[in-house]
């Protein structure tokens, strides 16, 4: 015990050194499994190598455009008409335009325009060729995409809409300039055909024509992989690699980036995307201007007819009265009447325009626009502008393939109905207020007329028809001006996006990044075994090293016994044995003196009990080898077998006795000396076996003759080693504990659950076992730095070492 205190004090003296040892222990715990780490890294590298060889290089193309901002003063032809109410100010922000550019419909248009859904690949990958030709794989991986100069020209007999939906891969092997072999990638269909002849495939008929000189292209005898991808799937793939972002916050300059396996294809994609976006914007503007122009022309024809009728009435009145002017009076009253008359005429014009718009709204079709000209009420005018914009958005959806039942189209219809109701209500309110103003001006005008003294009747009639003529003429001129303005707008419709930098590819590939991939493979190769080992340690509740015990218990550990290699379950040390196990028992022999009480009489033998918590922990192995080690030191030793339930010392020591402890207790004629059996080839070791199995072992051990047996052993031997039963299973050992000078409590590594230590701690604290010390049996030397002085000496240890390539149990 003093030895243990000195040793523990030396270990715990420096906390820094303890932390260093803990860290080293953790590192060594994983380094012991270095073979699994190497294997995991190797497999991870092989998997990464395989994946990298079956991924085509990807390149990035970048383009820069500027989105026109009409609302914030972009100086173009259309901005001049916004002040006149021809084109409503744009309320689209830059985020809306980004969403339009990234719309799946627009991307699909680009794919169909450039025919990107049909791809040609040549130059089969070397790894793919090896796997397919030698190992029976069917990878068919070709590295080079022939986008600039496709080797073949395919003429499909199916419609474009059907072609855009199919997905297929097939091989064209060029046999000669005139002949080829068609085959599916799984070789289910193989046909030999001449170029230019129609061939029937599983997706329809087609004609294959050469597009290059096969000899110059070195394609004769080689395969060409043709891949047809559904446009919808390809659109999703491009959207995944498409990035559109403003150059800076609140900027109208956008940076467009796309990733593709071919540099030129990436550049063409971006350029075509911008072009399609501009064509769509121009088409929408032209459609709106055309609808407005047609409406104004219709109104002009009607007003022109009405104006002709009014001009004829004026001519008739003036001819009847011979007057040429409606102004026949002078003075202040006349001037006032003329001012009121002008205001009345303007109000009448506004009232007429409102009625015309009301009539148009009431009689227009479901998908017809409402003209925004001639509306003085700003709320009604804004509602009309919003109505036309929503209707344009609906028509765009319908042209893009949506139906009337599409949720977005239904939502737009609901908004259109709501706006139409709002417009009708606004027109009614505007008409009512204008009518009130017109009546007021009429009343003031009548008063002014009454004040004109002696106005002739003919002058009044002339003024009346002249007023009507002026009203119609003003409306006619207004509509004529609007028609000309709309025609100019139609002619100068310009695109929304201005190209600053055309698409240009980065010469360096962006994927796959081999260094990053192998670094990731290294991390994964380290992480997988580490995680498994870490998880195993977390879930592992077994005791493995003395450190596991020391973290829980404060009980001294007298020795560590290494694990026996191979099938040496009944190993017995020899005098000239230099193995690690033999050295461990010699250390145990030395340490015994530290646990024995100093008060014991030197002339009496020292009684040392060996026990354990459960069976199969190696207590019999420890007891027999400890007794053997003491005898090798010329100490007269006897080993007493008191595990009368499952005796094991006889097979260890290679002896056989006709009578033992149970026979001695039952038969009073047998003397203790009659039980002694000498060990073979060992003059200092005697054995007293357990005897015959008895049905009542606990009662037998309570017999008074047991004390006589112990007195005999102590008188005749220096050391008495007692092999007892497992402590937690039966009470036998507790019944005999009063005869013990010290207890060696055996704990088997990699076998006993850590929760069993609570029971051991209870025995120690309650002092149920005198001078108790622990012995850790079956220690794996590779898992602990321990205190195994001398472990590893001799040829026995060297022969037990595994070769580096052997993956046995750790």
Give me the helices (H) in 540-618, please: 546-550, 580-591
- Is residue 17 very low, low, confident or very high in pLDDT (cuts 50, 70, 90)? low
Question: Would you place residue 784 in the very low, low, confident or very high pLDDT band (cuts 50, 70, 90)?
Answer: low
- Asked whether the predicted pLDDT for residue 326 surpasses 50, the reply is no
Cβ atoms of 583 and 787 within 8 Å: the answer is: no
Q: Which pLDDT belongs to residue 332?
A: 59
Q: Name the band, by pLDDT with cuts 50, 70 and 90, for residue 809.
A: very low
Residue 259 has pLDDT above 90, yes or no: yes
Over residues 72-89, the pLDDT tens digits come to 444 444 443 444 444 444
Q: Per-residue pLDDT tens for 551-599?
A: 888 888 999 889 887 666 668 888 888 888 889 999 999 998 888 887 6
Residue 374 has pLDDT above 70, yes or no: no
What does the pLDDT look like over 596-609, one tens digit per residue? 887 655 567 789 99
Q: Mean pLDDT highest for which of 369-378, 469-478, 525-534?
A: 525-534
Instruction: Give the pLDDT confidence of 522-542 residue by residue, as tens digits.
Output: 999 999 999 998 888 888 888
Least confident of 108-117, 440-449, 791-800: 791-800
348, 503 Cβ separation under 8 angstroms: no
Question: Do the Cβ atoms of 749 and 777 come closer than 8 Å?
Answer: yes
Q: What is the pLDDT of residue 115?
A: 93
Largest distance between two CA atoms of the chain: 175
The answer, yes or no, to whether residue 70 has pLDDT greater than 70, is no
Q: For the segment 718-756, what is each residue's pLDDT rounded down to a tens digit?
A: 999 999 888 776 777 788 888 889 999 999 988 888 888
Task: Tell me the mean pLDDT in the region 434-459.
Answer: 69
Round to whole Å and give the CA distance between 757 and 543: 9
| pLDDT given at position 309 | 75
* Rounded mean pLDDT, 478-482: 77
Per-residue buried b or exposed e for 504-535, using 16+ beta carbons within 10 Å of the residue's own CB: ebeeebebbeeeebbeebeebbeebbeeebee
The DSSP secondary structure of 130-189, one letter per residue, reads HHHHHS------EEEE--SS-SEEEEESS-HHHHTT--EEEEEEE-SSSEEEEEETTSS-
The two structure tokens encoding residue 723: 């092999």
The angle at the Cα of 725, spanning 689 to 708, to the nearest 5 degrees, equals 50
Which range has highest mean pLDDT (19-28, 769-778, 797-806)? 769-778
Find out whether 733 and 742 touch, Cβ atoms under 8 Å. Answer: no
pLDDT > 90: what percent of the chain? 30
- Dump pLDDT digits (tens) for 333-365: 677 777 787 777 878 887 787 777 777 777 776
Nearest to 575 by CA among 621, 654, 639, 629: 629
Q: What is the pLDDT of residues 702-719, one digit of tens each?
A: 888 889 999 999 999 999
Interhelix angle 263-321/94-101, nearest 10 degrees? 120
Mean pLDDT of 182-193: 90
In sequence order, which residues have a C-beta less than 8 Å from that of residue 639 and are 6 or more positions away? 623, 624, 627, 649, 653, 685, 686, 687, 688, 721, 722, 723
What is the model's pLDDT at position 320? 59
Q: What percent of the chain has pLDDT over 70?
A: 83
Q: Is residue 186 predicted with pLDDT exceeding 50?
A: yes
């Amino acid at each position: 015990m003093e030895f243990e205190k000195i040793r523990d004090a030396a270990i715990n003296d420096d906390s820094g050194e303890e932390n260093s040892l803990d860290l080293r222990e953790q590192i060594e715990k994983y380094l012991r499994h270095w073979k699994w780490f190497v294997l995991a890294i190797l497999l991870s590298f092989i998997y990464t190598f395989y994946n990298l060889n079956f991924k085509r290089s990807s390149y990035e193309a970048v383009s820069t455009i500027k989105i026109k901002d009409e609302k914030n003063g972009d100086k173009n032809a259309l901005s001049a008409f916004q002040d006149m109410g021809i084109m409503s100010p744009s309320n689209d922000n830059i985020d809306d335009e980004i969403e339009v550019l990234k719309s799946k419909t627009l991307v699909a248009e680009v794919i169909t325009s450039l025919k990107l859904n049909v791809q040609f690949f040549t130059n089969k990958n070397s790894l793919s060729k090896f796997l397919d030709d030698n190992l029976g794989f069917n990878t068919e991986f070709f590295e080079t995409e022939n986008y600039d100069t496709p080797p073949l020209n395919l003429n499909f007999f199916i419609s474009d809409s059907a072609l855009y939906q199919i997905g297929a891969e097939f091989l064209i092997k060029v046999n000669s300039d005139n002949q080829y072999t068609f085959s599916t990638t799984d070789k289910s269909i193989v046909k030999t055909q001449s170029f230019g002849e129609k061939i029937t495939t599983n997706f329809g008929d087609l004609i294959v024509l050469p597009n290059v000189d096969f000899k110059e292209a070195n394609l004769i005898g080689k395969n060409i992989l043709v891949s047809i991808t559904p446009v919808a799937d390809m659109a999703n793939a491009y959207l995944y690699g498409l990035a559109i972002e403003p150059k800076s916050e609140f900027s109208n300059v956008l940076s467009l980036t796309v990733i593709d396996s071919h540099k030129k294809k990436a550049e063409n994609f971006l350029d075509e995307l911008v072009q399609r976006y501009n064509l769509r914007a121009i088409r929408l503007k032209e459609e709106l201007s055309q609808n407005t122009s047609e409406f104004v022309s219709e109104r002009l024809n009607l007003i022109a007819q009405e104006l002709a009728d009014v001009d004829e009435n004026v001519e008739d009145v003036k001819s009847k009265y011979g007057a040429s002017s409606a102004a026949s009076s002078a003075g202040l009253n006349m001037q006032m009447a003329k001012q009121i008359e002008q205001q009345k005429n303007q109000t009448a014009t506004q009232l007429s325009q409102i009625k015309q718009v009301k009539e148009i709204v009431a009689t227009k079709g479901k998908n017809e626009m409402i003209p925004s000209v001639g509306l003085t009420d700003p709320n009604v005018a804004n509602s009309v502008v919003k109505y036309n914009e929503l209707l344009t958005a609906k028509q765009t959806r319908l042209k893009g393939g949506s139906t009337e039942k599409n949720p977005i189209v239904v939502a737009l219809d609901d908004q259109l109905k709501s706006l139409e109701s709002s417009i009708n209500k606004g027109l009614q309110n505007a008409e009512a207020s204008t009518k009130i103003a017109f009546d007021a001006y009429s009343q003031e005008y009548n008063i002014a007329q009454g004040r004109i003294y002696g106005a002739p009747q003919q002058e009044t009639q002339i003024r009346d028809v002249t007023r009507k003529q002026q009203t119609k003429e003003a409306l006619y001129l207004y509509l004529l001006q609007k028609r000309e303005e709309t025609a100019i707008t139609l002619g100068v419709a310009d695109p929304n996006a201005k190209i600053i930098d055309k698409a240009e590819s980065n010469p360096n590939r962006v994927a796959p990044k081999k260094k990053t991939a192998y670094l990731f493979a290294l991390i994964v190769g380290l992480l997988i075994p580490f995680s498994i080992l870490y998880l195993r340690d977390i879930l592992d509740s077994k005791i493995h090293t003395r450190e596991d015990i020391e973290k829980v218990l404060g009980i001294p550990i007298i020795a560590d016994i290494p694990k026996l290699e191979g099938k040496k379950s009944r190993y017995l040390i020899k005098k000239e044995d230099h193995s690690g196990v033999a050295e461990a028992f010699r250390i145990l022999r030395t340490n015994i003196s530290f646990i024995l009480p100093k008060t014991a009489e030197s002339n009496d033998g020292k009684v040392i009990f060996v026990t354990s918590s459960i069976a199969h922990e190696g207590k019999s192995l420890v007891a027999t080898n400890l007794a053997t080690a003491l005898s090798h030191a010329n100490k007269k030793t006897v080993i007493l077998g008191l595990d009368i339930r499952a005796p094991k010392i006889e097979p260890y020591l290679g002896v056989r006795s006709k009578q033992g402890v149970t026979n001695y207790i039952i038969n009073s004629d047998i003397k203790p000396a009659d039980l002694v059996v000498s060990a073979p080839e060992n003059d200092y070791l005697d054995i007293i076996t357990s005897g015959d199995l008895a049905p009542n072992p606990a009662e037998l051990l309570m017999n008074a003759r047991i004390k006589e047996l112990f007195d005999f052993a102590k008188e005749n031997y220096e050391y008495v080693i007692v092999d007892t039963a497992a402590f937690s299973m039966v009470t036998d050992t507790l019944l005999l504990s009063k005869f013990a000078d010290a207890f060696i409590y055996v704990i088997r590594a990699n076998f006993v659950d850590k929760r069993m230590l609570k029971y051991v701690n209870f025995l120690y604290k309650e002092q149920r076992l005198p001078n108790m010390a622990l012995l850790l049996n079956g220690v794996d030397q590779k898992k602990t730095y321990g205190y195994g002085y001398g472990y590893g000496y001799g040829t026995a240890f060297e022969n037990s070492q595994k070769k580096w390539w052997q993956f046995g149990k750790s």
